[in-house]
Amino acid sequence: MSERTVIKGGTIVTADLTYDADVAIEDGHIVEIGPDLSGGRVLDASGCLVMPGGIDPHTHLEMPFMGTYSSDDFESGTRAALAGGTTMVVDFALPSPGQGLLDALQMWDNKSTRANCDYSFHMAITWWGQQVFDEMETVVRDRGINTFKHFMAYKGALMVQDDEMFASFRRCAELGALPLVHAENGDVVADLSARLLAEGNDGPEGHAYSRPPQVEGEATNRAIMIADMAGVPLYVVHTSCEESHEAIRRARAQGKRVWGEPLIQHLTLDESEYFDKDWDHAARRVMSPPFRNKAHQDSLWAGLQAGSLSVVATDHCAFTTQQKRTGIGDFTKIPNGTGGLEDRMPMLWTHGVRTGRLTPQEFVAVTSTNIAKILNIYPKKGAVLVGADADLVVWDPAKEKTITAGSQQSSIDYNVFEGKHVTGLPRYTLTRGAVAVDDGEIRTQEGHGRFVPRPANGPVNRALSSWKELTAPRKVERSGIPASGV
């Protein structure tokens, strides 16, 4: 058994309670919560909030993509996560076309041995066939992965067709798994991109013009309807605009289990980053979906407040300036992706809690607890409860810094939040009881992270009578055969 650690003098903030108490940790778990706890190593939390560590359910670490690999691997990526108060990441295992799911998972198993914090995987469905259908069951039952991601964009590479998506969603329904979608109409994006290039619009701003909010709104609606027909809930990653948010809001109001995930980048950075800026500045911010205007940002913030959007993630997919420059002369070749793992929690605290848009409890909900419940790992993760993993952040709401690439943990040479001043940072970050941020010092341990299995869900999404009709026997009994033809 490892040494006892006591977090003393702080205010515990969970998604539903705020109260003063100490927290005792042994063997990686919370063993006691209460006043005046003692013994072992003491971490001073006076003036601080003790919260569940953040969970980022959307990262791409060392991912083969657009002819290169994303630059943060499981070591630097999870170090960045812990530095910013995030104690678990969920990465996407991405089979190449024709590659088996289990084969791809093996690659992700190998990469993730270097993780500094706990992690899990979503499995991407990048092609469809009997092997994929069969292996999905093994992925869920034997590997503890209950989420499957579908790209509705990246035509000719990762994109799946509607029939494939419907088949996969139905399989998810059978297995108690949750489908995820990257919702952009890939056919329209490909067409608009080709037109822009033909007109000589080859700069990074072309990326934004090629992916207007309508492509996201259309695809989000389509995915929601397909999920409804398959009788399965749906999680929409990187919801960036009102059109997509509106589709999610409407679905939820109709009683559908649909969740939306805005990214910290879309909440705090806007489309002006692409215009009247030098090539490197704009290209470093090329991601899909692109940054939007302020009206879309307001919609996302409102969604977090009203509960129509549930989770704030990063889609951390970091490429160096050198990698981005592959797309000089053709914006479609700029590797898509930005970093954010280290900055998600401080940026959300600064722009969400300090502005009065979110309460501290809502902050915990959207950075940790909601996604722990959606992914079926609550209360092991996302909670401050006896028996839960001691993945905790001792948050100092008065600690300040200016974000700059020079002092970040990520391995790339810039930061999309460069120069932003944040107030609210970890004093301590604990990963299963091990102190990874110690009064601001980074003390991560490579290989400390463990895979977190996520069991299948029971049958859900069957509340609506319209759905029951869809599954009822379709054959109509007729008394006579018509005399001729149709």
Residues that bind ligand DUC (CB under 6 A): 60, 182, 287-288, 315, 317, 336-337
Please identify which residue in 3, 20, 27, 400 interacts with Zn ion, judged by CB under 5 A: 27
Closer residue to ligand DUC (CB): 309 or 317: 317
Closer residue to ligand DUC (CB): 121 or 349: 121
Residues from 276 through 315 that contact Zn ion (CB under 5 A): 315
Categorise residue 179: left if φ over 0, alpha if ψ from -120 to 50, beta otherwise. Answer: beta
Q: Which does 27 bind (CB under 5 to 8 A by kind): ligand DUC, Zn ion, none?
A: Zn ion
* Nearest in space to 321 (alpha carbons), one of 271, 276, 279: 279
Minimum separation from the CB atom of position 287 to ligand DUC (A): 3
- Region from 24-32, 320-328, 381-389, 402-410 binding Zn ion, contact rule CB under 5 A: 24-32
Minimum separation from the CB atom of position 319 to ligand DUC (A): 9
Sign, CA dihedral 216-60-159-229, equals: negative
Q: Which does 336 bind (CB under 5 to 8 A by kind): ligand DUC, Zn ion, none?
A: ligand DUC
Whether the Cβ atoms of residue 204 and residue 211 lie closer than 8 Å to each other: no
Closer residue to Zn ion (CB): 31 or 48: 31
Residue nearest to Zn ion (CB): 182
Measured CA distances, 171 to 225, 230, 231 (Å): 16, 9, 10
Amino acid at 65: F
CA gap 227, 462 in Å, rounded: 12
Q: Which does 337 bind (CB under 5 to 8 A by kind): Zn ion, ligand DUC, none?
A: ligand DUC
Minimum separation from the CB atom of position 64 to ligand DUC (A): 11
Closer residue to ligand DUC (CB): 79 or 149: 149
| 182 touches Zn ion (CB under 5 A) | yes
Amino acid at 431: T
Closer residue to ligand DUC (CB): 288 or 299: 288
Whether the Cβ atoms of residue 286 and residue 264 lie closer than 8 Å to each other: no
Closer residue to Zn ion (CB): 81 or 422: 81
Measured CA distances, 405 to 279, 378, 410, 414, 431 (Å): 18, 34, 8, 5, 24
CA gap 460, 255 in Å, rounded: 12
CA angle 259, 262, 264 (to 5 degrees): 150
Closer residue to ligand DUC (CB): 273 or 315: 315
Q: Which does 135 bind (CB under 5 to 8 A by kind): ligand DUC, Zn ion, none?
A: none
Minimum separation from the CB atom of position 317 to Zn ion (A): 6
| 122 touches Zn ion (CB under 5 A) | no
| 184 touches Zn ion (CB under 5 A) | no
> How far does the chain reach from its first CA to its final CA, in angstroms?
77
CA gap 286, 56 in Å, rounded: 20
Tell me how crowded residue 162 is: count the other CB atoms within 10 A of its CB.
Answer: 11
Residues that bind Zn ion (CB under 5 A): 27, 182, 315
